[in-house]
Amino acid sequence: MPQAVSAPTDSTEESSKAGAVASRKVIRKAELELQVKSLADAQKTATDVAKKYGGYVVSSERRGTDSARDQHLRVVLKVKADDLDTALGELRAIKQGEANERISSEDVTDEWIDLEARLKTQKALETQYLEILKGASKVEDLLAVQKQLASVRTEIERIEGRQRFLDKSISLSTVTIDFEQPAPLVRASFAAVGAGFSQAGADVLNVGGATLVFLMRMIGALIPILLLVFLPGFYLGRWFLRRVGALKLPAKASAE
């Protein structure tokens, strides 16, 4: 059976932590909200800034196609962390109105130190398992060691993947920009005025036609009611009045 493997200890752990803390691992992010004159120009500027400062455009999303309404453009880009402040200054320069800004920093130094320590431990275990594997002679021993070795290597890959992600996030800052192009307050032109009058005339005709159709339908619905209710009632009333008049005449004659 393969001998048990204990995790190695590092007598210089405290000194390594002190050295790591001296160089903090910080992820910086920025969010901008800018009013601009032209979304097309703003998008070009954002793309140029990303390329200029060693980054790239992650995504671009535009909302609103009607020129009569406010239009919005969201651009997410990456720039080198050391150039973040300079890049933000160039982006602010294109604003035409209101601007809002948020900058956040996340210190991941402690996580980085923990990952380094775990990685060192797992690599030491990998080395020990490889040595044991060389001396194993039984099939069951070989299989047991290989299983443990595979588990250690999986953990090493996971730790290194997380380190690569943190490295990229630390070296490249994320900038999210929400551009807004306000709708023009006045768009006066003869064509627009003519189109407005034409639309108003069409609306009047539509409303008038709808009203006429409604009245015709009401009349059509009332005619059967008049025929079935009011017309018999009218003749019945006339008959009743005549009947009363006929009874009054003999009474008047006898009184004379």
- Give residue-wise pLDDT tens across range 88-108: 999 999 998 888 999 999 999
Question: Would 138 be classed as within a structural domain?
Answer: yes
pTM of full prediction above 0.75: no
In this structure, the answer to whether residues 138 and 255 fall within a common structural domain is no
Residue in 206, 154, 178 with CA at minimum distance from that of residue 101: 178
pLDDT at 147 over 70: yes
In this structure, the answer to whether residues 17 and 136 fall within a common structural domain is yes
pLDDT at 85 over 50: yes
Question: Would 7 be classed as within a structural domain?
Answer: no
Quote the number of domains for the chain: 2
- Residues in contact with 80: Cβ distance below 8 Å, sequence separation at least 6, in sequence order: 53, 54, 55, 171, 172, 173
Residue in 130, 136, 131 with CA at minimum distance from that of residue 156: 130
**How large is the average pLDDT for residues 43-68?**
89
In this structure, the answer to whether residues 126 and 146 fall within a common structural domain is yes
What pLDDT is stored for residue 223 in this prediction? 73
Q: Which of 139, 159, 181 is the last residue of a domain?
A: 181
In this structure, the answer to whether residues 64 and 176 fall within a common structural domain is yes
In this structure, the answer to whether residues 249 and 149 fall within a common structural domain is no
Question: Would 6 be classed as within a structural domain?
Answer: no
In this structure, the answer to whether residues 166 and 231 fall within a common structural domain is no
In this structure, the answer to whether residues 171 and 218 fall within a common structural domain is no
In this structure, the answer to whether residues 203 and 115 fall within a common structural domain is no
Q: Could you list the residue range(s) of the whole structural domain that residue 35 is in?
A: 13-181
Q: Does residue 71 sit in helix, strand or coil? A: strand
CA-CA distances (angstroms) from residue 120 to 16, 145, 152? 12, 19, 11
Residue in 173, 183, 185, 182 with CA at minimum distance from that of residue 91: 173
Task: Give the percent of the chain with pLDDT over 70.
Answer: 71
- Residues in contact with 172: Cβ distance below 8 Å, sequence separation at least 6, in sequence order: 54, 55, 78, 79, 80, 81
In this structure, the answer to whether residues 125 and 40 fall within a common structural domain is yes
In this structure, the answer to whether residues 207 and 147 fall within a common structural domain is no
Give the residue with greater pLDDT, 197 vs 220. Answer: 220
Residue with tokens 């290597």: 153
In this structure, the answer to whether residues 93 and 152 fall within a common structural domain is yes
pLDDT tens track for 107-124: 999 999 999 999 999 999
169 vs 171: CA distance, rounded Å: 6
Q: Which of 181, 198, 220 is the last residue of a domain?
A: 181
Task: Among 150-154, 191-195, 214-218, name the one with the lowest average pLDDT.
Answer: 191-195
In this structure, the answer to whether residues 220 and 173 fall within a common structural domain is no
Please tell me the chain's helix, strand, coil percentages from 3-state DSSP, rounded to the nearest 5.
Answer: 65, 20, 20
What pLDDT is stored for residue 87 in this prediction? 96
What pLDDT is stored for residue 18 in this prediction? 47
What pLDDT is stored for residue 58 in this prediction? 96
Choose from 17-21, 68-72, 249-253 the range with maximum mean pLDDT: 68-72
Question: Would 1 be classed as within a structural domain?
Answer: no
